[in-house]
Amino acid sequence: MARSGNASPKNRTRPVYIVDGSRTPFLKFRGKPNAFSAADMGVAAGRQLLLRMPFEPDALDQVIFGCAGPAADEANIARIIALRLGCGNRVPAWSVQRNCGSGMQALDCGLHDIQAGRSELVLAGGTEAMSRAPLLFDPRFVEWLADFNRAKTALAKAKQLGRLRPGMLKPVVALLKGLTDPVSGMSMGQTAENIAWRFGITRNEMDQYACRSHQRLAQAQDDDLLTELEPLHGPDGRAYDMDDGVRRESTVDDLGRLKPVFEKPYGKVTAGNSAQVTDGACAVMLASEEAVEKHGLPVLARIVDSEWAGLDPAQMGLGPVHAVTPMLRRHRFALGSIDYWELNEAFAAQVLACTAAWRDRSYCREQLGLSKPWGDIDPDRLNVDGGGISLGHPVGTSGARITLHLAHVLRRFGGRRGVATQCIGGGQGGAMLIENPEASA
Amino acid sequence: MSGTKLQHCTIERDSDGIAWVTLDVQGEAANSLSTEVLKELEAALDELDSGDRPKGIVFQSGKSGFIAGANVQELGAIENATEADALIERGQRVMDRIEAMTAPTVALIRGFCLGGGLELALACRYRVADRDPSTRLGLPEVRLGIHPGFGGTVRLPDLIGAPAALDLMLSGRTLEGRAAQRMGLVDFALSPWQLVDATRDLIRRDPGRHRPKWWQRLAGTLPGRYALKPIMQRQVKQSARAEHYPAPYAMLDLWVRHGGESAPSRIKAERTSLTRLIDGPTAGNLIRVFLLQDRLKREARSSDVVVPNRVHVIGAGTMGGDIAAWLALNGCRVTLFDEHDKAVASTLKRARSLFQKRLKRPERVTAALDRLTPDPRNRGVEGADIIIEAIVENLDAKQGLFRSLEPRMREDAILATNTSSLPLEQLAEGLQQPGRLIGLHFFNPVAKMPLVEIVAGEHSDATNLDRGQALIASADKLPLRVKSAPGFLVNRVLMPYMIRAAELYAKGTQRESLDEAAKRFGMPMGPLELADAVGLDVCVAAVDVMAEPLGLEVPASMRSMVDNGTLGRKSGRGFYVYDNKGKPDRGRISLEPAELDRLGQDLIKPLLDEAERTRDEGIVADGDLVDAGTIFGTGFAPFTGGPLHYREQHSGQRG
């Protein structure tokens, strides 16, 4: 095995490998809950992955899953997934929540435990069933109900009944709550509008970007390039074998006719140039060098480094800029040192704003501490097979998906280094630097 | 604690003065109430009656189950009414004595509590059961052609009321602890760690034996009994003919006629009725069938092998899909491959409804579904302990498949085929290790048919056959070793009978009469309705395989039906015409009973002849197994004890 000479300069630790990974098709939310719970999908992705492994599921040291919004009966969803995968009672499991960064956080936790020598084999990933986000009672209704139950006499009950107002019966959509930053009070779409304005991204640029995302995904589907995708089989007797959010026919003109959803009437961010609300899961097998040798595992990529950063929640879309810059700089890499990029598509505006920020002299100087603009990312090396806009963005899953897919992209093109990065609601960014050992000198 | 140790049970007295009687029959996997064990229980009761009277008495088991019932082996060996009467009398005496104990008595029930075991529990003042689903309570005697005889027909109605009691005894079904508690059959169904506390508490409080509600008691009055009789009788008639299965009718009669009498005289009537049943032919034959079933399971267990657990099934058609689902239901980790994703998906849908029906609780359904992994990329091959092939019946296709699989399989993995028509010797051609190929011939519908033929080809390795057999037994099916010969056992004995029916039909015998004649004989279905259900094309293909070696011929009429697309129920038209709900256009039976009886004999003769030939050719190890395979594989009238047994018993009347 080719060892990399590029281990973190600060900290020479045990190498950590991505052995393999699987994901479910991403299923778009079409107004009612899809057939699978988040745990169901985590199990579906995990068992296809484990089927390819030469060891039994109980050989794992731990299972870590990210999930931003598990259902009420999915507390510690990673443990549920581990047990349902047949890992047995003795494999511990824990769940992580870093909002849209949950899936990448799971990988990062596995990375750290393997580096530290606490684990050899970790199943890590993310899962999200956004279509199953619950409808909640209005807090006023909950209070009313409590008073009604406390009322002893028929008269008191009748009185309380008189206090019920129709407005109190309107359900609260948990999904919308989750996609709103409670500190700034802004929805995620509004933060995208904010940074689009900051860097002068036009509506047309956004729609062009979105259109290309769909075209790239369609091409990748046609050419069978989504290696990590495994069909899902539903209790409804249906086989789901493709990401179903892709719009093959939609043109920039079509997209241009959509109305803004977050800031009416002058906003630029539409349903068409935002990530779709989608369900899906992704599972990744991480291994130490010892585990690779012991079980004779293949190696897909090596995780070189990772980074997390915080920034103003109102500009959360720029998170990747703040996570990637310090990570690359400590390896003395420039943007151009990276062969392929996966920058999670939460919003077309946000992806374009990130690349614009690195070109922007004042942003680089004031926010990133760089003396001059850092440079450009070749659009042909960024999100080459589409992203959240065409695939959908199951929030807890995407971080794991882009990292895994990037590993396959590096293999496909013989690229050496790749960065997977994403913005995170609440004002954070996450990034992972991976390397294709085959391409290392 | 002070204790007494007998051979099969121990009595321990704790510091509260409670005597714990623990039954643990030596040399047996499960407790059963043989004469020897009953004698020892009498000795234990003597001991409890002497000296210091205990404050309470608890009956429990030292094994994983409570008591599985009477000793069926012993029942089967009973030769005359006197022997039967003596056994029943002893059992009844033991139960009467338990009931008469002055101290409160409790049966502490974990695992199987069936037949005589439940009758012992019924004789106790209280019953406490584990709520785990492995605990089952019931009086299944009717399945052996008899009815409860240790006071069960008396004490069960007295405890829970006649309607519920009769339902349990007539159907022979078993209950989980919680269902038993709802019925009043047990006082508590609890988590295992609560059982001892509950037992002590019942003894301390001694609240009195459970009584049925007033309206449940109403059914036991004379008018109640006569009002219920016709309703119950109708129910029984639906599942059993009186001339074939007298036990449920006897049970009902016992209750209607003696239900109002004093307990001792009812218990005496129970004994008289049961003695008569044991002395009759049906009970003996059904006990024989039970023992044959036991033999099939035992022979699979005795082989000292590692039972395969990781199963890879190739082909998600009706058979492949149902095999995969059945094995997953029974604890195997299954991967299922098919080129068509839709087939896999529809299997999963079928599997879910099967699991929901069998397992009920959602977490168990999910666990079973998680054991059934759809495998669209065929990756399960490498890790499998056994690969079961259920693709199209085509020699080239199967050979090609096997050749592609073998290099990927583990060195010790078994390759199994579900073929019903292709010779294993030919299928094994081209394999590096022909010994790894065995046949596992399941029947359709998989979930309902108890038998699986374990087919030994000329090259099949003995260990692989043992392992296949063990897998089938562990998956709650009855494995039967058969030689690789056209039609194996089941299809071979079945087809001549169906051909005969088709010939008679072609010659003008009424189809309804043909089917009724077979059912009068005791077949679960008539031959023509069976052919329609299986599919005429499938029947013709099955006969074609045997045609040459066995000198069989498909009736021309049947072949032309297939050529015309008249395939049976699936095409809406076969011997019958089916409406869109699948209901056949069945008409009135035109023949008289005596004619039907003659017709039944005529129909069944080719089956009996063929059964004899399979025995003579050694298709299975002996004649008993021919009977077992025919009963469990075709549903052949169980009360006859099997085709060979039937012919032997009726040989005097032949000609």
The H or E element that residue A435 is part of is strand A428-435
In a shared domain, residues B217 and B323: no
CA distances from A262 to A196, A311, B480, B511, B592 (A): 13, 22, 69, 73, 83
Q: Does the residue A267 lie in any domain?
A: no
**Backbone phi, psi, residue A429, to 5°:** -135, 150
Catalytic residue list contains B590? no
For residue B508, what are its two tokens?
């003008």
pLDDT of residue B651: 81
Across the range A303-321, mean pLDDT stands at: 97
Identify the active-site residue in B8, B147, B258, B441. B441
Does residue A321 form part of some domain? Answer: yes
- Mean pLDDT over each residue of chain A, to the nearest integer: 94
Do B181 and B258 sit in the same domain of this protein? yes
As given in the structure block, the two tokens for residue A65 are 């899953």
pLDDT tens for B277-299 read 999 889 999 999 999 999 999 98
Which residue is associated with the tokens 């890790």?
A: B383
Beta strands, E only, B442-532: 451-456, 478-483
Give pLDDT, residue B652.
64
At A62, which amino acid appears?
Answer: Q
A→B contacts (Cβ < 8 Å), by residue, are 43, 47-48, 51-52, 54, 84-86, 230-231, 233-239, 241
φ, ψ of residue A252 in degrees (nearest 5): -60, -35
Q: What's A360's domain CATH number?
A: 3.40.47.10
In a domain, B295, yes or no: no
Residues of A identified as active-site: 100, 423
Tell me which residue of B649, B651, B653, B652 sits closest to B281, measured CA to CA.
Answer: B649
> Which parts of chain B register pLDDT below 70?
1-2, 302-303, 652-655
Same domain for B181 and B256?
yes
Are B450 and B577 found together in one domain? Answer: no
| Residue B463 CB coordination number (10 Å) | 16
| Domain tally, chain B | 3
Tell me the pLDDT band of A161, cut-offs 50, 70 and 90: very high
Partner-chain contact A235 B375, CB within 8 Å: no
DSSP A8: -
What CATH number does the domain containing B534 carry? 1.10.1040.50
pLDDT of residue A104: 98
The residue among B454, B483, B512 that closes a domain is B483
Q: Are residues B478 and B495 in the same domain?
A: no
Domain of residue B60, CATH code: 3.90.226.10
B156 plus B209 within the same structural domain:
yes
Q: What is the mean predicted confidence (pLDDT) over A140-159?
A: 91
B520, B438: one domain? no
Q: Is residue B543 part of a domain?
A: yes
- B534 and B525 Cβ atoms separated by less than 8 Å: no
Report yes or no on A197 lying in a domain. Answer: yes
Closest partner residue to B374 among A85, A86, A233, by Cβ? Answer: A233
Determine contact, residues B488/B420, Cβ cutoff 8 Å: yes
Helix, strand or coil, per DSSP, at residue A55: coil
Beta-strand relationship, B310-314 and B386-389: parallel
- B127 & B238 share domain: yes
The residue segments making up the domain with residue A422 are 188-225+304-439
Q: How far is CA B11 from the centre of its chain?
A: 35
Does B287 fall in a domain?
A: no
Question: Rounded to 5 degrees, what are φ and ψ at B333?
Answer: -95, 115
- Does residue A435 fall inside a structural domain? yes
Report if residue A44 sits inside a domain.
no
Residue B229 lies in a domain: yes
- Whether A7 has a pLDDT exceeding 50, the answer reads no
The verdict on a CB contact (< 8 Å) between B345 and A239 is yes
- B349 CA: distance to closest CA in chain A (Å): 5
Q: Work out the minimum CA distance from B614 to partner chain A, whole angstroms.
A: 42
Compute the nearest-CA separation of B383 from chain A (Å): 7
Contact by Cβ (8 Å): A63, A286: no
**pLDDT tens for each residue of A81-96:** 999 999 999 999 999 9
CA-nearest of A205, A212, A204, A207 to A248 is A212
- Determine, for residues A233 and B335 on separate chains, whether the beta-carbon distance falls below 8 Å: no
CB contact under 8 A, A231 and B341: yes
CA–CA separation, B241 and B236 (whole Å): 8
Sheet-wide strand order for B451-456? B372-374, B333-337, B310-314, B386-389, B414-417, B437-441, B451-456, B478-483
Taking CB atoms and an 8 Å cutoff, what residues of chain B touch A233? 341, 344-345, 348, 374
Q: If you measure CA to CA, which chain A residue comes closest to B368?
A: A84
* Per-residue confidence (pLDDT) for residue B654, from 0 to 100: 46
Asked if residue A123 is part of any domain, the answer here is no
- B61 found inside a domain: yes
- The verdict on a CB contact (< 8 Å) between A233 and B345 is yes
B285 falls within a domain: no
The number of domains in chain A is 1
Q: Provide the ipTM.
A: 0.89
Q: Which amino acid is at A87?
A: C
Give domain status of residue B289, yes or no: no
Which residue range is the domain that position B381 belongs to?
308-483
Q: The tokens 């005791």 sit on which residue?
A: B522
Q: Which residue among the candidates B40, B453, B516, B529 is catalytic per the annotation?
A: B453
Q: Count Cβ–Cβ pairs < 8 Å, chain A vs chain B.
A: 51
Whole-angstrom Cα distance, residue B302 to residue A429? 63
Checking if the pLDDT of A421 tops 90, the result is: yes
Does residue A399 lie in a domain region? yes
Q: Is residue A234 a contact partner of residue B345, using CB atoms and an 8 Å limit?
A: yes
CB contact under 8 A, A237 and B346: yes
For residue B291, being part of any structural domain is answered with: no
Q: Do A51 and B345 touch (CB under 8 A)?
A: no
Same domain, B496 and B565: yes
Give residue A1's pLDDT.
38
pLDDT tens digits, B452-475:
999 999 999 999 999 999 999 999
State how far residue A23 is from chain B, nearest Cα, in angstroms.
14
Does A233 sit within 8 Å of B341, measured CB to CB? yes
d(CA A412, CA A415): 8
| Residue B352, domain CATH | 3.40.50.720
Per-position b or e across B407-440, b if 16+ CB within 10 A of its CB? eebeeebbbbbbbbbbbbeebbeebebbbbbbbb
* C-alpha neighbours within 13 Å on the C-beta side of residue A352: 28
Q: Where does A31-173 have alpha helices with state H? A: 38-52, 77-84, 102-115, 139-150, 154-162
Q: Is A279 a domain residue?
A: no
Q: Which residues of B touch A (CB under 8 A)?
A: 333, 335, 341-342, 344-346, 348-349, 352, 366-367, 369-371, 373-377, 379-380, 382-383
Looking at residue B538, its pLDDT comes to 86
Instruction: Given the residues B491, B529, B610, B645, select the one marked as catalytic.
Output: B491
| B270 and B137 belong to one structural domain | yes
Chain B: residue nearest A53 by CA? B383
* Banded pLDDT at A9 (limits 50, 70, 90): very low
Q: At which of B263, B279, B295 does a domain end?
A: B279
- State how far residue A128 is from chain B, nearest Cα, in angstroms: 19
pLDDT at A340 over 60: yes
CA B463 distance to own-chain centroid:
27
Q: Do A235 and B352 touch (CB under 8 A)?
A: yes
Closest approach of B133 to chain A, Cα-based (Å): 20
**The tokens of A205 are what?**
């640029």
Residue A247 corresponds to which tokens in the numbers above? 């719009």
> B interface mutation test: which of A43, A51, A52 has the most B CBs within 10 A?
A51
